[in-house]
């Protein structure tokens, strides 16, 4: 869910919050998560017996894009 949609949903639930506060909640104080995310690919590649890669294409607002999945049954890295 995008931040604007999250902000809209919170407003529909009568939660009085600013867009800046939503952004801070989602982005600040998550250093441990970012460290874990940064280590995920190398750990998954070292521990797995195989790795599967898949590209998925899509068009969003008239612009072609893609998402690459790297992983196996034990980890996923996008």
What does the pLDDT look like over 43-56, one tens digit per residue?
888 888 888 989 88
Tell me the HSE value of 39 on the side-chain side, using a 13 A CA sphere. 8
Full DSSP string of 42-70 = HHHHHH-S--EEEEEEEEETTEEEEEEEE
pLDDT digits (tens, 9 = 90+) for 10-56: 999 999 999 999 999 998 998 888 888 888 888 888 888 888 989 88
Model pTM greater than 0.75?
A: no
Residue 1, SS3 per DSSP: coil
């Amino acid at each position: 869910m995008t931040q604007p949609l999250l902000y809209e949903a919170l407003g529909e639930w009568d939660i009085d919050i600013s867009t800046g506060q939503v952004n801070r909640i989602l982005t600040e104080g998550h250093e441990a998560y970012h460290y874990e995310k940064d280590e995920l690919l190398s750990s998954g590649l070292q521990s797995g017996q195989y790795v599967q890669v898949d590209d998925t294409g899509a068009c969003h607002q008239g612009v072609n894009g893609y998402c690459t999945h790297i992983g196996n049954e034990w980890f996923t890295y996008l």
